[in-house]
Structures are given as C-alpha cells and as structure tokens.
Structure 1
Amino acid sequence: MGIKFGEKLRQARLQNKMTQAQLGAGKYSTSYISLLETGSREPTSEIITELSGRLGLDREAMESWNTPVSADEAEFVLLEHRARQSYTAREYTDAEKTATEAAAVALRLKNSSAWWNMMFLRAESLRDQGRFDEYRLVAEEVLSHPLTDESLALKVRAETLVANAYLGLGKLHIAVDHALTAVELGRDLPGDSLIYIGALFALVASLAESGQLDEAWRTCQTLSDAVAKGAPSQTAGNAYWAIGNVAFKRQDIASGLANHQLAAQRLLPASDIELWARFNKASASMRLSAGVVEQETLQCIEKAELALSVIGGNPSETLELHLIRARWLHLNGQPAEALEQLKPVDEDREALSQHLQGELDLLTARCLVGTGRHQDALPHLSRAQQAFASAGSPDRASLAIELATEIRSANR
C-alpha cells in the first residue's frame, strides 16, 4: 500500500520545494525518503506523524494516503506483492511478467513512482535470467525516466543498473562510464549507504574486467572502508569477494585468497544458496586465472556444480561453469579432456557475453596446442582477439595475438 503513499509524499515534498535530504534532515536518510517515495518501504505511524508535521499537512489526511481506494490501486498492490514474492523465490520469469503487468497498471494510475519501482524489479528479473539485451533496454528506460533525475538515490541506482547490464553484455568501456557516474553521484550519499556500495561494486567489476587493475584496486580500498562501517554480513561478504577478485587479477595471490576466505565466512548456503553457487564459481575462476590449482579450487568448482544442480541456473551460468571446469583440466595437464568439456559450450556460445566468448576461444586454442594441433588453434585465436577487442578488453586481446604469433614463428 505504500506505493500510493509514496507518490503523494513526493508530490507534497515538491510542492513545498524541498529536497529528499531536507525532508528527512536530522532523522531520516535521503535513501530512506527515496524508498518511501518509491513504495519500497511502508510508512509507520511515527513516520506519518513526523513527515506530516514537516510538510505542514493534516496527519489524518496523510494517513489516508496509505489505503488503496480504487480497483486499479488494489490490482497494483496484488501484482506488486506477487512480483516481489516470485523474485524472492527466484521464480524470475514470473517476477518479470508480473512486474511488467504492475508497471502497466501504474501507467494507468499515472503513478510514476510505482512504474519506476516495478520497471526496476523487471530489469533485475531479466538480469537474473541472463537476458542481458532485454535487461539493458529496460535499465536504460528506467535511467531516462524524468523521475530518476528528481532523486539522487534513484539516479545512482539507475546508473548502477545500466552499468551492470553492459557488464553482463561484455561492453566493458560503457559499463565503466556508467559505474563511474554512479559512484561520483553516490559520494553525496552517506558513506555506508547500500546504494553507494552497490555503485562501488559495479565500478570494481567493470574496471577489473576491462583490465584497469590499478584503478580497480583503488576503488576496492573505498569499498572496503564503506563496508567496514557496519554493512550487513552478506553485503560485506560480497565486498570481500569483489576485492579478492581484483587481488587475484593483480597477481596478489595471498590477498586474493585471504579476501575470498573472508567472503566464504559470510556467504553461506543456508542464507542464499544461489549466491553461494555464484561465489564458488567465481572464486574458482579467479583462482584458476591466478594459477592456483590446489584441491581447494576443485572444491569450489564442485560446490558450484552441486548448488546449480539443486537450484538450476540460467544457460550462461551453466556454460560458464563448464568453461571453468575445462580450465581446471587444462591447467592440470589434461587438454584432451578439457576440449571435451568445451564442446557443449562452443555449441551454445551465443549465450555467452563477448568477453566469455573470447575466453572460450583462447582456452580452446591453448588446449589444441597442448594436444599438438597448433594450426587448428589459429582460427580460435583470431576469434578470441576479435571478441576481446569488441568487449573492450585489450590486455586479453593482446594475449591471443601473442600466442598466434608464437605459433606462426614456430612453423617458419
């Protein structure tokens, strides 16, 4: 029911020419006022008393905002509740469909806050299905909506949403641009704001994936400081995960292992098995990239495989796990077995981002070289170079070029 309240609260605030920070000053954060206005939080009796006084409104009049009075409003409340329940249950297809229906009802109600809230949920549902092209389109629609420019918190959330969409598509330079914007804007939010921390996550990931490791590491220090101020355990776990990733990429193996151990202590299967699966998959990938092939790395792969067998997973996640298992085999001197593991990945390569398609071809080439098929490796290296260049990852493209040069030189 808070969605009707939120829209009317926003209108009253604007009529009083107040910012969200001014309305909440001294008691409520800017982020919390934003959550009230988008209907993400229900107002308590105390909040209604406080805000009605600050806006010079009759308390009973504000109380009445919190009750749906029309069939469309009642329909919206039901659809929103179902969409959020489906998302929490990881039924992302239903969550996306229901959020789309709820957004259409919000348009009929001319309720921009309700529309924004449901479109944001729709984008997240598309993301978690791996439908990144559609996710990008919805995220950019949210970013361009006039309501987004009325709130700093909404602007940061929308820029972060778009950054993550381009990150998923492998368009790393665009992801960096949007993540930088989100972080710069987010500096005006409280230092421990989860919205600001989310922007930092996006920037660390996009910088690291595009090879800008020094910049990524500096951002990691900011992220570490932000979560040290009392972030929830799961948020802190995600932060240590991201920081460890960058450490591995910088070949600081000890720091990478230490931070991933801190993450493993906070990201537990009982709390969120899907997140646990993704962490173990990512940790295995980072360890392998750094040449860490000890038994603990295999255990990470097996944990991720076990979790995905329980919860399922979108096609790109399953393919990526095959790719990680193949890397393990290759690094442990089993290139022929690795090539067998890569066959289903290559057959469905279009489900992967440009960056991962590059990794697929680069690993395939290395395995072919390992089995003595040097000439067969060259077409894969050419495709890898093109995929990495398209993804905005010049360092990885250079690796493909160097390996191709070595093969041609050896054949002269």
Structure 2
Amino acid sequence: MAEVLEQPSFGQQLKALRQERGLSQAQVAEGGMSTAYLSRLESGTRRPTVKILTHLTERLGVPSSVFEATQMSPLGRALASASSSDDNDDAVRLLEEVVRAERGEDLSLRWLSLWKLAQLHAKLGTRQQELSTARELTELSDRMGVPTFQVRARTLLARCLRAVGEIEESRVVAQMAVSTVADQVLPVSDTVRAQLVLISVESESGMMAEARSHAEQLLGVIEELGTVLRAEVLWAVANVRIRQNDYTGASELLERALDELPSHDGLILWLRLRLAACSLYLQMTPRRVAEARRCLEEAERALDLVGSPLHRQEMLVIKTHLAFQQRDLEQARALYDQLKDALPQLTFRDRVRLEVLSNQILILEGDRDTGVRNVEELAREAEDASNIHLASEIWRTLAETLAWDSEP
C-alpha cells in the first residue's frame, strides 16, 4: 500500500469521513480501539497502525486508498478544506469548482467529494442542486460497483426525489436500494436507512399496507439497533401509524423516541426529532396543540446551540401551523409572510401544506371562493405527484376549514 497521509491530514480526513456518515467516535472505535485513541487520531497527535487502518476502513466502508498520501491532489485538498470549513457557501463553491475540473481523480475520492457536496446542498436548502448531485453520485456508484456506495447513493437519491415531490421515481429508487441490501452484507445503518426511506415513500404514495408491514419488521429488530437508529425507526413507524389514524400508537412511539434519545448522542437529531414530533402532533385528530407546543419549546432551546438556517426555517414552518391551530390568524399570516421567499427551499410537502394554510386563512378572512378554489388546485397538484396521503390531508383540511368558517 502507498504511504499513509501524514498527520494532521490523516486526522482531518478521518474526522470528515466519520461525520459524513453520521457516526459517533464510539461507533467507529467499537471493537478496534478506545474512543480516546480515535480522538487522538482525529486531532493529529497519533499515527495509525496497519491494524487500526484496516479497522477504520471497514467501519467507515471506504477503501484504504482514501488515506493514502497520493490522495492529497487538488480534489483531496478541496475535500479536506470543505469538511473543516464553517462557511457552507464557500465550501460548495470550492468543491463544485474542483469536482468539475478534476475528472481524472481516484473514483473513491470523487465519490466522497460528491457525497460531501450533497450534504452541503442539504444544509443550504438548495434542493435541486442536491438532487442533481445525488444523481451523479448514483451513476458513479454504479461505475465503481461497490454495493455500500450504491445503497448510500440510492438512499440519498430517493430522499431527494421525495423532497421535491417525485414520489413515483423515489419509490423505484428506494426499492432498488433495499434490493441491493437484500443481496449483500452491509453495515446495519445502511440497511436500516434504505428501509426507512422506502417506508416513507410508500406511506406518502398511499401504499399503507406495505409501509405498515415494513415498519413493523423494523420495529421487531429495534432492540438490536444503536440509540440514534432506534430513534429514527420509532419516528418513521409513528409517522406511518398517524397516516393510518392510529394516534394512540403513534403517540406512544413518539414519546418513546423523545425519551430514549439523550441529547449528547446527537443534538441535531434530538432537535429534528422534536420538530418532527411537533409537526405530527398537529396532524392528529384532534390536534394535540399542547404537546406540539411543548416539543417546539424544547427544540427552540437546542436550536440556539446547533441549529442551521434550514432548521430555523423548519421551525418557522411549524410555528406557522401552530399559530393557525390556535386560531391566531394574524400571527399565522405574519409568519407565513416571513416564509414566502423561502418556499422554493422547502420540501414539496411543506411548501404545499403552507400554501394550503395561506388559503385557509383567506377563507376564514372572508374570501371563501378564492380560498376554496386554490386549495382544490393544491389537492390536485398533490394527486398528480402521486402523493396520495398529502392529497387526502388537503381535502380533510378543506372540510375542517369550511366547518370552522360556518361556526358563529
């Protein structure tokens, strides 16, 4: 094997790879070294042995070549720089420029660079660019023929497609990821996350029997999973149960997820889980406004510590829905106006639901005909996108709003 990267470059590369996979130091170190030793590797104060290097490549699912000194080419330097930068916009510009210029690079390093680029676009809310990068990543994974990379790329692509409203294609891609998982021995995290995105797409497209079956299978092995994956599974299964009107079962799963995930195991997931719980409470019948408000207050405290602009945007969306459910139309309209310019950055589902809310306010303010016509168009838009659950939710919301409007 070629010479391994010198420190601190090795540590920077190692930390970037670990963080890009959402793994804690304990998860990477398990079975091969102490967490303290891994921390010293990442900080640049220790050099890896051959045995340690083998363990790291297995845990991270990468070839050993990503740690070779020959990898510090323009693309390697750009990846290291982007991974340690606090400015996401600058990191995107740097990586985009080098990725497009350096076509002859080692494929594994190119894959890692595209993966990092997709993550940066996700943080910035530039969804079409994230989708485009995910497609390129999937094509590259197929060229490389590495099952782990193929599953991760397709799981990401399916999520991106779902976010922009391409439900049918998302389901096909997610099924391909799960099929690859069935044929290979892959890390548990890759297996579970591929199944989670398929469950999500199935439930949105109205395939509730399939979604429920796959969700229950995951629930059956949940005790074998780590804390973070367990929380993600509980969240997904709760979502399915809400869409089947099993609000009691959904509440139990949500509360368990909220209770079992300590903030130190992943503060960003801790924050996102509370935002998700708040949103799901507001979708129940009747709306559980008190529980939603509690989760929102907890999320706001975490937002000050780790929240990104995208997280703040997601919180503003939920605050808008919460204000409306409390029948504070003035506050709901003011919050919606703050979000108008950000609508293209939202997921298809969040954007449509916000536009529905805007027209609900219109109906309750007296312009019934315009509001009803616009909501009906949004329901048909959801149906055309094969998002059956969202369309059903919109029709139900319209009926509720008209009932409110008829109250004294």
Bin the TM-score by the shorter chain: 0.7 to 0.9
CA distance in 1, matches of 2:235, 2:316: 21
SS at the partner of 2:219?
helix
SS at the partner of 2:264?
coil
Unmatched 5+ residue regions in structure 2? 6-46, 56-63
> 2:273 is matched with which residue?
279
Q: CA deviation at 1:119?
A: 1.1
Q: Supply the AA of the counterpart residue of 1:277.
A: L
Matches within 5 A, 1:388-407: 388-398=382-392, 400=394, 403=398
Q: Judging changes above 3 Å, is the alpha-carbon distance between structure 1 residues 359 and 338 closer, same or farther for their aligned structure 2 residues?
A: same
> 2:69 is matched with which residue?
68
What RMSD over aligned residues (CA atoms) do the two structures have, in Å? 3.7
Name which one, 1 or 2, has greater alpha-carbon Rg.
1
Q: Supply the AA of the counterpart residue of 2:81.
A: R
| Aligned-residue identity in percent | 20
Matches within 5 A, 1:5-404: 44-46=49-51, 67-69=68-70, 73=72, 76-86=75-85, 92-100=88-96, 103=99, 107-108=103-104, 110-145=105-140, 147-148=142-143, 150-190=145-185, 193-229=188-224, 231-290=225-284, 291-315=286-310, 317-398=311-392, 400=394, 403=398
Q: Judging changes above 3 Å, is the alpha-carbon distance between structure 1 residues 346 and 383 closer, same or farther for their aligned structure 2 residues?
A: farther
Q: Supply the AA of the counterpart residue of 1:165.
A: C
Q: Judging changes above 3 Å, is the alpha-carbon distance between structure 1 residues 348 and 226 closer, same or farther for their aligned structure 2 residues?
A: same
CA distance in 1, matches of 2:119, 2:235: 21
1:127–1:165 CA contact under 8 A, matched in 2: no
2:75–2:110 CA contact under 8 A, matched in 1: no
CA distance in 1, matches of 2:346, 2:401: 28
SS at the partner of 1:324?
helix
Q: Judging changes above 3 Å, is the alpha-carbon distance between structure 1 residues 258 and 245 closer, same or farther for their aligned structure 2 residues?
A: same
The TM-score normalised by the length of structure 2 is 0.74
> 1:31 is matched with which residue?
none
Q: Judging changes above 3 Å, is the alpha-carbon distance between structure 1 residues 386 and 344 closer, same or farther for their aligned structure 2 residues?
A: farther
Q: Judging changes above 3 Å, is the alpha-carbon distance between structure 1 residues 325 and 3 closer, same or farther for their aligned structure 2 residues?
A: farther
1:362–1:400 CA contact under 8 A, matched in 2: yes
1:207–1:213 CA contact under 8 A, matched in 2: yes
CA distance in 1, matches of 2:319, 2:3: 46
Q: CA deviation at 1:48?
A: 8.0
2:349–2:390 CA contact under 8 A, matched in 1: no
1:327–1:338 CA contact under 8 A, matched in 2: yes
SS at the partner of 1:216?
helix
Q: Judging changes above 3 Å, is the alpha-carbon distance between structure 1 residues 328 and 66 closer, same or farther for their aligned structure 2 residues?
A: closer
Q: Supply the AA of the counterpart residue of 2:69.
A: P
Deviations 1:214-241 (A, max 9, x none): 2222121232244432x22112111111
CA distance in 2, matches of 1:400, 1:212: 18
1:248–1:256 CA contact under 8 A, matched in 2: yes
CA distance in 1, matches of 2:400, 2:242: 27
1:241–1:259 CA contact under 8 A, matched in 2: yes
2:362–2:368 CA contact under 8 A, matched in 1: yes
Q: CA deviation at 1:330?
A: 2.7
2:135–2:157 CA contact under 8 A, matched in 1: yes
CA distance in 2, matches of 1:279, 1:65: 33
Greater displacement, 397-406 / 276-285: 397-406
Q: Supply the AA of the counterpart residue of 2:103.
A: L
Unmatched 5+ residue regions in structure 1? 6-41, 51-62
Deviations 1:43-92 (A, max 9, x none): 85238899xxxxxxxxxxxx9996525xx735555443333334xx7x54
> 1:21 is matched with which residue?
none
SS at the partner of 1:278?
helix
CA distance in 2, matches of 1:178, 1:49: 32
